[in-house]
Structure 1
Amino acid sequence: MNNRVVITGLGICAPNGTTIDEFSVAIKKGLSGIRHQPDLEALNFSCQIAGKPVLSEERISQYFTPLELRNLNSTGIIYGVIAGLDAWKDAGLTIEDNEDPDWDSGTIFGAGTSGIDKFRWAINKIDALEIKKLGSSVVIQTMASGISAFISGKLGLGNQVSTNSSACATGAESLLLAYERIKTGQAIRMLAGSTSDSGPYIWGGFDAMKVCTFKHNHEPEKGSRPMSATASGFVPGSGAGALVLESLESAMARKAKIYGEVLGGHINSGGQRGLGTMTAPNPTSVQRCIQTALKNAGIEAQEIDVINGHLTATTKDALEIENWKTAMQLPDDDFPYINSLKGMIGHCIAASGSIECVASMLELSEGFIFPNINCEDLSPEITALIDAKYIPQTLIHKPFNILAKASFGFGDINACIIFKKYTHE
């Protein structure tokens, strides 16, 4: 089978917005969700700023039972369930309390870790010889597949229920895996997305690696600076993004709102060979990923109007632009607009790709290109590769047809998705 696949629902739990309306306004206005974090300062982190979704207890209680909330200590599960259930509702789908599961619907919802705070709490209980006080919720909150298990139970999903984990490529990969499931006729609809815990036990390792900025602790909103000459490392972030993917036939049959179409994409690895390492991309594999995504989607490079890049505000930003340019082989005066959401939300690790895919779908469906913030001083390495006009720093209202979204992750792994505006048929 070769089903066409469309996106019919969006959900978000981002540092600069935890509803689609709020998030849409924020990305159009270039509003940052990065704030000073007193706990990171108290722990002597070099980088004392981060992006965290702002959620009230009242909001959280709408998604969990009182019993679940009694011992819930996993921000990743909270973010993911909120984004996932909101996407399901946005798609016009209902939560049925039937005896039988929904055999046609599933989820692939990624995570980097799960319940790190819960895990630490459990370790302390064990070390204190208090094993009987652990309770029954430790396993489901700390197992890697905790997020997909929670979502599946709440929605009654009977198709594939999995959690993927591929570092910073996790979110984009989850969408492509869900896309393949529907395209090949094994599911009618899939909830795809990813989530990332917040807090010092997640971000401490990156701080120790010295890949996070330490120069903007007193001006948090200026800290994340993708493509900037004064970029000094990424700002850690957290949250979740979720998208409902569905066969076009199903979406049309139930007269669903359609945000856009997934034309195809590609996932690969550089194998940590050549210039690739655990933390650095193999340029050849990145270029092959982009080129194969285009081929898989059945389009030519010149058809791409906008690139939503990975672009993390590190020294690798210029290399990423160079890889796009080499892969696409376009003339210097004909390059797509390119933007990075990380200036507003930081690098949300495993959640980055899915949050950025939600932003991409809003751009495509509403016809705008969100601004790149904090790069008023564009890196000369980048402007030597492409003209500054392709890096918009103010909101552009412009209908366009095709967007390429890529995410690249630790372990030398890559994912690239091609989205197309849906012209109602």
Structure 2
Amino acid sequence: MKKRVVVTGLGVVAPNGINVNEFSEAIQQGVSGIQKINALSELNFSCQIAGLPIYKKEYLNNYFTSIEQRGLQASGLEYGVIAGMDAWRDAGLEVAQDGDPLWHAGVIFGTGILGTEKFREAIYKVDDGKVRRLGSTTVTQTMASGISAFLGGKIGCGNRVTTNSSACTTGTEAVMMAVEHIQRGNAEVMLAGSTSDSGPYVWGGFDAMRILPYEYNETPKQASRPMSADASGFVPGSGAGALVVESLEHALARGATIYAEIIGGAVNSGGQRQGGSMTAPNSIAVQRCIKEALIDADINADQIDAINGHLTATTKDPEEIRNWSEALERSGEDFPLINSVKSMTGHCLAASGSIECVATVLQLKEDFIFGNINCEQPHHEILKLIDTTQIPKKTQYQKSQIIAKASFGFGDVNACIIFKKYNR
């Protein structure tokens, strides 16, 4: 039998909250972290707004030594280490001291791109013939696995320490990979999550694709409109989310606080066939992923109380709702409540899945379903499938037993996790 896996620690760095308490309050109150970014207007971006975590540089003293901060120019590394270490501390876990590492503990922490500012600096120095002035931190700040290596070293993990990368599915996939590693008996504790760099060098490609909203540059908090009739593209964002996942036996033995149980999930790809492409999902694969997650969790579709969707505020939102409806065979008023964190954070790219997994767990633990802001009038194609009452505009305080979280990414990749309120 597979081991039961629970969530015992949370960490988050989001545009609307740089710790779990701030983030929880923000999503319950409908607080947006999207703002105008002057650098984007100076660089002639069409979309000049983004979701950007805000903290003072001194805040890094809580997570990085003075030596580690020398030449630190990787925002994603900062976000990931803050969220990851917060989650580890929240779980009440110690770091390894001198001697053996923690053989039973590991890290799976994903990213889409890391250290873009550092890499840009390196390119200019190399082009100027100043390669010897790159410094000793260029590689560790720009290699994708820099984030998992940093966290693994700070904690002293002796189990698997690795980085995954699957576009917008990265964070949700990382959590599922960690769960499976524990279920197989290969570890007792895993720190799972994802992070994403911020800035024009990350967001520029999306602006060039013309898939970002440009008409809200002066009203940024109204810009991210998942499921809305007048949604006009996703707002780029950044940050990191982290979860400590642990075998139930290990968590109980040390008296850990248990936020929720992860009872199943699935990860797949549409193969860029049957309508799927580098940028569009294969709906058959999406539905298959959801159905396989239900099978893995050993639950029926009618047991799902709510869905924390991917829902990016693009033309794909109605298609996502249709896929959920067909996969669950539920529609109208029978459809689960559904929401999107992106209405308040924007689309945090590789970090989106992990940030949204944190939001899902908080809803189960604290008994609420957060509301969707900027969705006064849902898209007419969505309303053909589900009742408007299932798209809450304000936070509803109620107990839920099971919430599904899914992410879908470029490359036609999908991941779905089923979270359950922990019951002995």
TM-score calculated relative to the size of structure 2:
0.99
Query: Which residue matches 2:256?
Result: 256
Map Cα deviations across residues 227-266 of structure 1 (whole Å, 9 max, x no partner).
0111000000000000000000000001100000000100
1:140 lines up with 2:140 in the alignment: yes
Q: Does 1:26 align with 2:41?
A: no
Structure 2 residue 181 is the aligned partner of structure 1 residue 176: no
Q: Secondary structure at the match of 1:368?
A: coil
In structure 1, the partner of 2:356 is 356
CA–CA distance in structure 1, aligned partners of residues 187 and 407 of structure 2: 25
Write the distance in 1 (CA, Å) between the matches of 2:16 and 2:6: 26
Distance 1:332 1:218 in 2: 36
Q: Name the SS for the 2:107 alignment partner.
A: strand
Unaligned runs of 5+ residues in structure 2 are: none
For 2:47, the aligned partner's letter is: C
Tell me, yes or no, if structure 1 residue 267 matches structure 2 residue 267: yes
Q: Is the 8 A contact 2:96 2:157 kept in 1?
A: no
Q: Does 1:418 align with 2:418?
A: yes
Deviations 1:38-80 (A, max 9, x none): 0000000011000011111111121111111011100000000
Q: Which residue of 2 aligns with 1:334?
A: 334
Code of the aligned partner of 1:312? T
Say if 2:116 is the partner of 1:113.
no
Task: Confirm or deny: 8 A CA contact 2:331 2:385 kept in the other structure.
Answer: no
Mapped partners of 1:327, 1:167: distance in 2: 23
Q: How far, CA to CA, are the matches of 1:377 and 1:197 in structure 2?
A: 33
CA distance in 1, matches of 2:96, 2:103: 13
Q: Which moved more, 1:55-64 or 1:176-185?
A: 55-64
Residue 245, structure 1, aligned to residue 245, structure 2: yes
Structural mapping, 1:372-411, within 5 Å: 372-411=372-411
Q: Secondary structure at the match of 1:396?
A: coil
Aligned to 1:293: 293
Q: CA RMSD in A?
A: 0.7
Letter of the aligned partner of 2:59 in structure 1? R
Return the alpha-carbon distance in structure 2 between the equivalents of residues 98 and 232 of structure 1.
54
Q: Which residue of 2 aligns with 1:74?
A: 74
SS at match of 1:278: coil
Cα contact 2:403–2:420 (8 A) shared by 1: yes
Normalising by structure 1, we get a TM-score of 0.99
Contact 2:333 2:390 in 1 (8 A): no
Aligned to 1:231: 231
Counterpart CA distance in 1 for 2:295 and 2:251 is 26
* 3-state SS in 1 of match to 2:109: strand
Counterpart contact for 2:2–2:184, Cα < 8 Å: yes
Q: Which amino acid aligns with 2:403?
A: L
Aligned-residue offset at 1:331: 4.8
Q: Deviations over 1:166-206 (max 9, x none)?
A: 00000000000000000010000000000000000000000
In structure 2, the partner of 1:15 is 15
Moved more, 161-170 or 333-342: 333-342
- Mean Cα deviation higher: 188-197 or 89-98: 89-98
Amino acid at match of 1:50: A
Contact conserved, 2:5 with 2:247, CA < 8 A, in 1?
Answer: yes
Tell me the secondary structure at the aligned position of residue 318 of structure 1. Answer: helix
Q: Which amino acid aligns with 1:294?
A: L
What is the 5 A alignment of 1:153-192?
153-192=153-192
For the pair 1:125 / 2:113, whether they are aligned, the reply is no
Amino acid at match of 2:188: I
Q: Secondary structure at the match of 1:394?
A: coil
- Runs (4+) of structure 1 exceeding 6 A deviation are none
Distance 2:256 2:364 in 1: 17
Partner-residue secondary structure (3-state), 1:35: strand
Deviation of residue 96 (structure 1)?
3.1
Deviation per CA, 1:314-361: give whole Å up to 9, x if none: 000000000000111125331100000000000000000000000000
User: How far apart are the structure 2 equivalents of 1:373 and 1:144?
Assistant: 34
Q: How does 1:316-327 map to 2 (within 5 A)?
A: 316-327=316-327
Q: Which amino acid aligns with 1:176?
A: M
Aligned length: 424
Percent of paired sites with the same residue: 60
Letter paired with 1:254: R
1:263 match: secondary structure: strand
Q: For the residues of structure 2 that align with 1:139 and 1:284, how far apart are their CA atoms? A: 40
Give the C-alpha shift of residue 95 in structure 1: 2.1
Distance 1:178 1:333, change over 3 A: same
Counterpart of 2:304, as a letter, is I
The alpha carbon displacement at 1:97 in A equals 2.0
AA of the residue aligned to 2:80: G
1:381 deviates by: 1.1
Conserved 8 A contact 2:364-2:400: yes
Please name the residue that 1:314 is paired with.
314
Give 2:214's aligned residue. 214
